Chains A and B, each alone.
Chain A
Amino acid sequence: MRDLRKAFGGVRAVDGCSFAVPCGKISGLIGPNGSGKTTTFDLLTGLTAPDAGQVLHRGENIAGRKPYEIFRRGITRTFQVTRIFREMTVLENMLCATGLRVPDRVARERAEALIAFVKLGSLRGEYGGRLSYGQQKLLEFARALMTDPDLILLDEPAAGVNRTLLQQLLEHIHHLQERGKTILIVEHDMNVIMNHCERIFVLDHGVKIAEGPPRDIRGDERVIDAYFGRRRR
């Protein structure tokens, strides 16, 4: 993205943010609360339109496009608080992500494969709303993969999730990356970010203040300042 800006009334959530997400790698997007991470995701996926700036995907500016247009270009996301369809079954949740041009048999095979991938097979006929929180997170993750997207944005995948499930999710994420997918993770859990991301972007007050591999970010003064405030001199 290039010089992205978005203000809500007087609050400049994203204020001239620019960075490039490397293809085929797992990257992290971190920053203190209110730094503009989720707004950036919303701008990338079309849930909000930017006031200024561009989002370039394969040379095309997709900023301001509708969410379904962006989805059809191979970009999907999960949400901070899961948005699975509660009164629909697990299988239906999966199937509705495929366009109607995809033949029924193909859609079903893919849905069943992904359901098996996240080990929700025995719950395929259960309502989404009856699943546990962790199961819902897995469902949302699997659902986002139905159209075999190239870029996957994960908004706090570790939030509220036990260590075992987190391990499973991270294995799935690495598996996807090995298949050539690009993944961008917003997270507060530093273990996840430092141990699994190749490149990290740090936001503060809507701008990118640092960028680099984990070992650089770990010791970066600007990042520490952003999280913990200025050191007294």
Chain B
Amino acid sequence: MTRSEHLRNLLALGALGLVLALLPPALNVYLRSFALFTMMYVVLALSWNIISGFTGYTSFGHVIFYGIGAYACAILVADHGWHWLPTLLVAAGVAAAVGVALGYPVLRLKGPYFAIAMLGAAEGMRVVATVWDGLTHGGLGISLPSVENSIPTYYAMLGLMLITVLVAYAVGHSRFGIRLNAIREDEVAAEALGINATAYKLAAFALSAVFPAVAGGIQAYKVLYIDPPSVFFVQITIAMALMSMLGGKGTVIGPIVGAVLLYTAQELTWVNFPTAHLIAYGLFIVIVARFMPRGLVGFAIDRGWVRKGMVH
């Protein structure tokens, strides 16, 4: 992409950010919440895409970082009287550290083995949160002091989304990003071309851990009560994976489009049919796998509406 194209995209993002920033007074509580959740899923899908789309290490347990972030915030606010905003930085730091510590052994595994190991890690963390009640209050969960925070959390999530989009964009359209793609395509050949795959994978994994953790922290503060099953919820992993795949794994716009479409569809069906969204998930997985393995953006690329490649 040329400089002017980058600038155009940046301006578009800025305009979108401005619109979203001006919305809250015009929205009722439900719609504000809907917008917040949509933005959250954009963050989650884009983050998942960094390790699973760009680097090709498909993670089935990415909710682990979301849960860690939620607990970091909740513990510090409820038990130590912190203000919620600095806890988000702690959430990011803890997630990055866990990302590196967990990633080092787990990223040695390939394909399905990595996916299942991540699933296990997330479930394991849920059990840790349940059992380590000295820290996490175990199965009782943590209640945060009740406060009207609909507007502040909206803006926090908006800020997080804008940052995540910028980072995902910077990674996706850079030579760092295409080196991650090389690892996905053929790790052995990538190493033979001078790419230290271990270092790159760890960097991508840690990066993909930070934003979901902050999202988890914001969510914890928003809903004011968390417990292990609600924040280490496998459906959150499924949702971010599906959104990214539906939109186009390995692109930047793909996860954004996928998150908005899928979450909106989910909300519309949920209102009328409370559990139908699970069936819809299943249906979407089949449709994506069978007809659009490279997602909507992949479909657009094949039709020639969107240019091939991330760096031009």
Residues of A within 8 A of B167 (CB): none
Known A-B contacts A83-B186, A100-B175; A89 and B309 likewise in contact (beta carbons under 8 Å): yes
Q: Once A and B bind, how many residue pairs between them come within 8 Å at the CB atom? A: 89
Assembled-state Cα–Cα distance A220/B184 (Å): 46
Q: Are the C-beta atoms of A107 and B191 separated by less than 8 Å?
A: no
Q: Are the C-beta atoms of B311 and A95 separated by less than 8 Å?
A: yes
Q: Are the C-beta atoms of B192 and A92 separated by less than 8 Å?
A: no
A 97-108 to B, binary, CB cutoff 8 A, 1 in contact else 0:
111100010010
Task: From the candidates B176, B179, B189, name the one contacting A79 in the complex (CB within 8 A).
Answer: B189
Which chain A residues (91-128) contact chain B, with CB distance < 8 Å? 91-92, 95-100, 104, 107, 125-127
Residues of A within 8 A of B191 (CB): 46, 66-68, 71
Task: From the candidates A86, A92, A147, name the one contacting B309 in the complex (CB within 8 A).
Answer: A92
In the complex, whether B312 has a CB less than 8 A from a CB of chain A is yes
Known A-B contacts A96-B175, A96-B182; A85 and B189 likewise in contact (beta carbons under 8 Å): yes
Which chain B residues (169-214) contact chain A, with CB distance < 8 Å? 175-176, 178-179, 181-182, 184-186, 188-197
Residues of B within 8 A of A68 (CB): 191-197
Q: How many residues of A contact B (CB 8 A)?
A: 35
Residues of B within 8 A of A143 (CB): 193
Assembled-state Cα–Cα distance A59/B199 (Å): 28
Residues of A within 8 A of B189 (CB): 79, 83-85
In the complex, whether A226 has a CB less than 8 A from a CB of chain B is no
Assembled-state Cα–Cα distance A95/B196 (Å): 16
Known A-B contacts A68-B195, A85-B181, A143-B193; A91 and B175 likewise in contact (beta carbons under 8 Å): no
Q: How many residues of B contact A (CB 8 A)?
A: 26
Assembled-state Cα–Cα distance A79/B186 (Å): 13
Q: Are the C-beta atoms of B194 and A88 separated by less than 8 Å?
A: no
In the complex, whether B125 has a CB less than 8 A from a CB of chain A is no
Residues of A within 8 A of B178 (CB): 88, 92, 95-96
Assembled-state Cα–Cα distance A123/B296 (Å): 24
In the complex, whether B307 has a CB less than 8 A from a CB of chain A is yes
Assembled-state Cα–Cα distance A89/B181 (Å): 11
Residues of A within 8 A of B250 (CB): 87
Assembled-state Cα–Cα distance A56/B190 (Å): 24
In the complex, whether B85 has a CB less than 8 A from a CB of chain A is no
Q: Are the C-beta atoms of A71 and B194 separated by less than 8 Å?
A: yes
Residues of B within 8 A of A87 (CB): 181, 184-185, 250
Residues of B within 8 A of A99 (CB): 194
Assembled-state Cα–Cα distance A126/B309 (Å): 8
Residues of B within 8 A of A97 (CB): 193-194
Which chain B residues (190-242) contact chain A, with CB distance < 8 Å? 190-197
In the complex, whether B308 has a CB less than 8 A from a CB of chain A is yes
In the complex, whether B162 has a CB less than 8 A from a CB of chain A is no
Given contacts A68-B193, A68-B197, A71-B192, 16 further A-B contacts (CB under 8 A): A67-B188, A68-B191, A68-B194, A68-B195, A71-B193, A83-B192, A84-B189, A88-B181, A92-B309, A92-B311, A95-B311, A96-B181, A99-B194, A100-B175, A100-B179, A107-B175
Chain B positions near chain A (C-beta within 8 angstroms):
175-176, 178-179, 181-182, 184-186, 188-197, 250, 307-312
A-B contacts, 18 listed (Cβ < 8 Å): A47-B188, A68-B192, A68-B193, A68-B194, A68-B196, A76-B192, A83-B186, A85-B182, A86-B185, A89-B311, A92-B311, A95-B175, A95-B178, A95-B311, A96-B181, A96-B182, A96-B193, A127-B309
